[in-house]
Amino acid sequence: MARKQRKHSDQFKVAFEAIQGTKTLSEIGSQYNLPPNQFRRREKQLLTEGPTVFSDKTAQELESAAGRETELYEQIG
C-alpha cells in the first residue's frame, strides 16, 4: 500500500528549517523573503504546539468533526 505524500505549509517549512539549524536565519530569510524575527516566533510555536499549529483545520473544525464522529458511532451502535 502506497504512503500518502504529506503537504506542509510554507510556515511549517520555515519553522522546521529554523529548528534544524543547518542554515542561518539570514539564509532562511532570503530564501522565503521573511524578516528573521518571524523565525523565532514560528520556531517557538512549532516546539510548543506541534504539527497542529500549522494545519489548515481550526480547533473549531476539529471539535465539530469529533462531535460528528461520536454521533455516527452512537447511530451504528
Q: How do residues 22-57 score in pLDDT, each as one tens digit?
A: 888 788 888 888 787 776 777 777 777 776 665 666
Which domain covers residue 35, as residue numbers? 10-76
| pTM of the complete model | 0.45
Q: How far is residue 74's CA from residue 63's CA, in Å, rounded to a whole number?
A: 17
H helices of the chain, in order, are: 10-20, 25-32, 37-49, 59-76
C-alpha 77 chain-centroid distance? 34
Whether residue 31 is contained in a domain is answered as: yes
Whether residue 3 is contained in a domain is answered as: no
Whether residue 2 is contained in a domain is answered as: no
Whether residue 21 is contained in a domain is answered as: yes
Instruction: Look at residue 2 and tell me whether its pLDDT is greater than 70.
Output: yes
Whether residue 4 is contained in a domain is answered as: no
Domain count, the chain: 1
The x, y and z cell numbers of residue 46, run together, are 512549532
Q: How far is residue 42's CA from residue 32's CA, in Å, rounded to a whole number?
A: 13
